[in-house]
Amino acid sequence: MAHAAALEIRHLNKQYIVDNQPMPVLENIDLSINPGEFISVVGSSGCGKSTLLRLIIGLEKEYQGEIRVDGQPIVGTSLERGIVFQEHRLFPWLTVEQNIAVSLLNANQSSKSKHDAVHAHIEMVGLKGFENAWPGQLSGGMSQRVAIARALVSRPEILLLDEPFGALDALTRSHLQRELQTILRQEGITAIMVTHDVEEAVYLGDRIVVMEPRPGRIKRVVDVPLARPRDRGSYAFAAIKADVMADFSEVIAPPEPAPPPTHGLSPSWRFSW
Amino acid sequence: MPAAKHRQQQPLPSLRALAWRRRAAKLDYWLWPWLLPLIILGLWWLGGRQQWLGSQVLPSPGEVLDSLTELLASGELQRDVLISLERVLEGFLLGSALGLALGAAMGLSERASDYLYPLVRLIAYVPLLGWLPLLMLAFGIGETLKAVLVAQAALLPVALNTYNGIRAVPPHYVEVGRIYGFSRRQALWRIILPAAFPMVWSSIRYGLTKSWLALVVVELLASSEGLGFLMVDSRQLYRLDAMLVAVVSIGVVGFVLDQVLAMIEKRILRWRRAGFAS
Ligand SMILES: Nc1ncnc2c1ncn2[C@@H]1O[C@H](COP(=O)(O)OP(=O)(O)OP(=O)(O)O)[C@@H](O)[C@H]1O
Ligand SMILES: [Mg+2]
C-alpha cells in the first residue's frame, strides 16, 4: 500500500511568457500539506489553479521556489503523483479498459494483478459493461469517470484533481464524491482538488485554499473541522460554505469549467523531454 | 377514447411516408453515383450507332467489349496488369517506406526538420515529369527509372504528411505519457504513432494513387510492357478499342488499389467511427 505523502510548497512563483513579456500566473504560493490531508482549491477562472497542479505534478520545468514531496524536491513527473486533468485526456484509439491500463504500463505488477485492478476500478466508477467502449462513444461525464479510474488505479501517494466532477450530473457527482473519499482514506492518499463548486470543496476538504487572480495568490486558507461523513444539511456545514462563498462572490466565477487552456498552441512544442 | 382513435388514424400514413422517404433516400444513395456514368455510356453507345465520330476515332462500346474479351483470352491484358501492379507495388513500398522514415525523422527531430524540411518542400513543387529527363540520363529507361519515379511519387506526400501528422499530435496526450512514466519509445509507439496515424494513412492512400498514375506515365514514355505501354501501343496501331480497354483497366486497377487501403483503414480506425455508427 502506498503511504500518503506530505507536500511542501515554498515561495512558489510562476510566469508564462506571452508576447515576449513575462506574465505572472502564480505569486508567492506557500502551502504545507500533511500526509493524507484533503485540500480543496477554489478561485475564479484564470487564477492559476490548473497551473499550480501542473507544477506539482511535474509538467512545468520553469518556476521559482520549492516544491517538496516528503522533503524531496520534485524532479519531473513520477508514478507517485497522479492527476485527473480538467479535460479527460483519454486516448481515443484505446478502449476504456486500455485507457485505464495506461497508467499501469510501467508499474511493477503482474499482468494478472493489473487486469484485476483495472476491472475493480471500472466497477468502482460505475462503468461495468463499458470496458470495450471507445472514448468517442462515451458522454463527457463517463469519460471523466474513466479518467478518475485511470488516475486511481496506479495508487499514487498524492492525487491531484482538476475539477474532476464538473461535467457530472448531481447524482453521479455525490456518489463519486463519497467513493473518492472512501478510497483516499483507505489507501491513505494525499489529495488536492480544484473545484468551482464550493459545496464540494467543503464536503471533501480538510482545508479550503481560496485563491485570487492576477496574479494567482492564496487569499486565505479555511479550515473545515467537521467530522466525516459530513452532513451537507448541518448548520456548521452551511456556515463554512457561506463563509467561502462570501470570498468568492467578489469575482463571479463561471459555474461551468472553462474550455481547456490552449497549451496546445505553444509555438515551440517539441517531442522531447 | 378520442385520443386513442386519433392516434390510430395518424401514424399509418406518416409511417408509410417515412418508409417511402427512406426507400427514396436509399435509391438516391445507389442511383446518383451511377447516373452520370450511365448517361455518358448511353451517349457513347448512341454516338457509335449514329456514326457521330466514326469508329476510327471513337469505337463503340461493343467493339471495346469485344477487344476486352480478346485481350483477356490471349492473356495479354492480365500480363500487362500484373506487370504494372508489380512495378507499382515495388516502387510504392520503397517510396512510402522512405517517406515514412523521412517524415518521422523530420517530425521527431528538430535538427532533421531544420535541415530537410525546406528542401523537401521545394522538391514537392517540381512536377513529377520535371524529373524525367534528368532521371533518364541517370538511370536509362529501364526498370530502375520506373522504380525511382514511382517511389518518388509516393515519397513526398507521405513524408510531408507524416511530418505534419506528428507535429499535430496534441501535446496533451504526450503529457499523459509523461505522467505515467512512458519512455521515449513507449511514447512514440503508444501515443505519437496512433495519434498521427489517420493523417499518415491518408497520405499513404494518396501516395499509392500518385504512384499508380506516375507508373502509367512512365510506361507511356518508356516501356515495352504494362498497361501504359498497352495504351500507347494500341494507339500507334490505331487499335483505339484496345486503347480504351487499357484506359478503363488503369482506372479500375487504381480504384481497387485505393479500396484495399480504405478497407485496411476502416479496420484500424474503428475507434474513429465508433462515436457515430453502431
Ligand atoms: N501555456 C500557457 N502559456 C501562456 N499562458 C498560459 C498558459 N497556460 C495558462 N496560461 C495563463 O495562465 C493563467 C492561469 O491559467 P490556469 O489554467 O492555471 O487557470 P485556472 O485557474 O485553472 O482557470 P479555470 O478555472 O478556468 O480552469 C491564465 O491567464 C492563462 O491564460
Ligand atoms: Mg483550470
The domain containing residue A52 runs over which residues?
7-80+156-245
Say which residue, B184 or B272, is predicted with more confidence. B184
B54 pLDDT above the threshold of 50: yes
Residue A161 is predicted with a pLDDT of 93
Ligand 1 atom closest to the Cα of residue A18 is: 4
Q: Which of A153-157, A167-171, B147-151, B190-194 has the lowest mean pLDDT?
A: A167-171
A143 found inside a domain:
no
B40 pLDDT above the threshold of 50: yes
Q: Average pLDDT of B264-275? A: 74
**Domain CATH number, residue A13:** 3.40.50.300
A128 to chain B nearest CA, in Å?
A: 18
- Separation of alpha carbons A145 and A121, rounded Å: 10
- Distance between Cα A263 and ligand 1 center (Å): 9
Nearest neighbour of B175 by CB, restricted to A59, A133, A154: A59
A196 pLDDT above the threshold of 80: yes
CA B15 to chain centre: 41
Share of chain B above pLDDT 90, in %: 17
Average pLDDT, chain B: 82
A222 in B contact zone (CB under 8 Å):
no
A90 found inside a domain:
no
Q: What is the pLDDT confidence band of residue B13, given thresholds at 50, 70 and 90? A: low
Give chain B positions within 8 Å (CB) of A136: 271-272, 274-276
Considering its fold, how many domains does chain A have in total? 1
- Complete DSSP assignment for B142-197: SHHHHHHHHHHHHHHHHHHHHHHHHHTS-HHHHHHHHHTT--HHHHIIIIIHHHHH
CA B140 to chain centre: 28
Longest dimension (CA), chain B: 92
Cross-strand bridge partners of residue A7: A33, A69
A272 pLDDT above the threshold of 70: no
A197 found inside a domain:
yes
Domain ranges, ordered by start, for chain B? 2-50, 62-277
A263 pLDDT above the threshold of 80: no
Say which residue, A168 or A60, is predicted with more confidence. A60
User: pLDDT tens across B130-180, in order?
Assistant: 878 888 888 887 888 888 888 988 998 999 999 999 998 999 999 999 999
Nearest neighbour of B173 by CB, restricted to A57, A91, A105: A91
Mutational pocket test of ligand 1: of A13, A26, A47, A160, the residue with most ligand atoms within 8 Å of the beta carbon: A47
- Distance between Cα B141 and ligand 1 center (Å): 61
Residue A207 is predicted with a pLDDT of 92
Mutational pocket test of ligand 1: of A19, A25, A196, A266, the residue with most ligand atoms within 8 Å of the beta carbon: A25
* Residue B181: count of CB within 10 angstroms of its CB: 16
A186 found inside a domain:
yes
Q: What is the pLDDT confidence band of residue B4, given thresholds at 50, 70 and 90? A: very low
A30 found inside a domain:
yes
A261 pLDDT above the threshold of 70: no
Beta strand A190-194 with A21-33: parallel, antiparallel or unpaired?
unpaired
pTM for the whole structure: 0.76
Q: What is the pLDDT confidence band of residue B5, given thresholds at 50, 70 and 90? A: very low
A84 pLDDT above the threshold of 80: yes
A93 contacts B197? CB cut-off 8 A? yes
Domain B62-277, CATH number (from 3.30.429.10, 3.30.70.20, 1.10.3720.10, 3.30.70.60): 1.10.3720.10
B86 in A contact zone (CB under 8 Å):
no
Query: Ligand 1: residues whose CB is within 6 Å?
Result: A 16, 18, 25, 45-51, 86, 258, 261, 263, 266
- Distance between Cα A135 and ligand 1 center (Å): 26
- Separation of alpha carbons A18 and B17, rounded Å: 59
A266 found inside a domain:
no
Residue A93 amino acid letter: W
Average pLDDT, chain A: 83
